[in-house]
Chain A
Amino acid sequence: MQLEDKELLDLFRESSTKELAFTAIIKKYQVKLYWHIRKMVISHDDTNDLLQNVFIKVWKGLDNFREDSKLYTWLYRIATNECLTFLEQKKKKGSISLSDEENGLENMVKADKNFDANKLEWKLQLAIQKLPERQRLVFNLRYYDEMPYEKMSKILETSEGALKASYHHAAKKIEQYILSS
Chain B
Amino acid sequence: MEKKGNILNNYFKKDSTFKLDHNIVLPYSIPSNYFDEFYIRLLQKINHHKTTNNNLNQVDYFIPDGYFNKFSELILKETELLEEEDITDELSRIAPIFKDISKQNVYQLPEGYFEKDIETKKLNTSKVYSINNKSLVRWTIAASFIGIMFIGYFLVADKDSKEINNKQNLAFSKKNIDINSSIKKISDDDLTKYINNDYNYYNDDTVILDDVTVPDIIDKKIEAVSDDDLNKYLSDAATLTNIKKGL
- Docked complex Cα distance between A49 and B130 (Å): 10
Contact string, A142-164, partner B, CB cutoff 8 A, digits 1/0? 11101011100000000010000
Whether A81 sits at the interface, judged by CB under 8 Å, is: no
Q: When the two chains form their complex, are residues A175 and B95 in contact, meaning their CB atoms are under 8 A apart?
A: yes
Q: When the two chains form their complex, are residues B133 and A93 in contact, meaning their CB atoms are under 8 A apart?
A: yes
CB distance from B162 to the nearest CB of A (A): 45
- Docked complex Cα distance between A171 and B19 (Å): 68
Whether A35 sits at the interface, judged by CB under 8 Å, is: yes
Whether A67 sits at the interface, judged by CB under 8 Å, is: no
Question: In the complex, which residues of chain B have a beta carbon less than 8 angstroms from the beta carbon of A174?
Answer: 95, 97
Question: In the complex, which residues of chain B have a beta carbon less than 8 angstroms from the beta carbon of A48?
Answer: 113, 118
Q: When the two chains form their complex, are residues A172 and B95 in contact, meaning their CB atoms are under 8 A apart?
A: yes
Q: Tell me the count of chain A residues lying within 8 A, CB to CB, of chain B.
A: 47
Q: When the two chains form their complex, are residues A149 and B114 in contact, meaning their CB atoms are under 8 A apart?
A: no
- How many residue-residue contacts, CB under 8 A, span A and B? 89
Knowing A121-B106, A171-B91 touch, does A52 contact B120 (C-beta < 8 A)?
no
Contact string, B83-97, partner A, CB cutoff 8 A, digits 1/0? 010010001001111
CB distance from A52 to the nearest CB of B (A): 5
Contact string, A110-134, partner B, CB cutoff 8 A, digits 1/0? 0010100001111011000000000
Q: When the two chains form their complex, are residues B108 and A114 in contact, meaning their CB atoms are under 8 A apart?
A: yes
Whether B148 sits at the interface, judged by CB under 8 Å, is: no
- Docked complex Cα distance between A179 and B100 (Å): 12
- Docked complex Cα distance between A48 and B104 (Å): 21
Closest to A168 in B: B94
Knowing A38-B107, A143-B91 touch, does A53 contact B101 (C-beta < 8 A)?
no
Contact string, B66-110, partner A, CB cutoff 8 A, digits 1/0? 000000000000000010100100010011111011111111111
Q: Which of B87, B105, B119 has the most CB of A within 10 A?
A: B119
Q: When the two chains form their complex, are residues A121 and B119 in contact, meaning their CB atoms are under 8 A apart?
A: no
Q: When the two chains form their complex, are residues A59 and B123 in contact, meaning their CB atoms are under 8 A apart?
A: yes
- Docked complex Cα distance between A179 and B104 (Å): 20
- Docked complex Cα distance between A124 and B120 (Å): 35
Whether B138 sits at the interface, judged by CB under 8 Å, is: no
Q: Which of A33-61 contact B (CB under 8 A)?
A: 34-35, 38-39, 42, 44, 48-49, 51-53, 55-56, 59
Cβ-defined partner of B84 (8 Å) among A44, A52, A150, A171: A150
Q: When the two chains form their complex, are residues A172 and B94 in contact, meaning their CB atoms are under 8 A apart?
A: yes
Question: In the complex, which residues of chain B have a beta carbon less than 8 angstroms from the beta carbon of A149?
Answer: 84
Question: In the complex, which residues of chain B have a beta carbon less than 8 angstroms from the beta carbon of A125?
Answer: 106
Knowing A92-B132, A112-B106, A114-B108 touch, does A55 contact B119 (C-beta < 8 A)?
yes
- Docked complex Cα distance between A176 and B169 (Å): 87
Q: When the two chains form their complex, are residues A19 and B128 in contact, meaning their CB atoms are under 8 A apart?
A: no
- Docked complex Cα distance between A48 and B109 (Å): 10
* A residues neighboring B (CB under 8 Å): 19, 22-23, 26, 30-31, 34-35, 38-39, 42, 44, 48-49, 51-53, 55-56, 59, 89, 92-93, 112, 114, 119-122, 124-125, 142-144, 146, 148-150, 160, 167-168, 171-172, 174-175, 178-179
* B residues neighboring A (CB under 8 Å): 82, 84, 87, 91, 94-98, 100-110, 113-114, 117-120, 122-123, 127-128, 130, 132-134
Given contacts A23-B119, A121-B101, list 6 more A-B pairs with CB under 8 A.
A26-B120, A93-B133, A124-B101, A125-B106, A172-B95, A175-B94
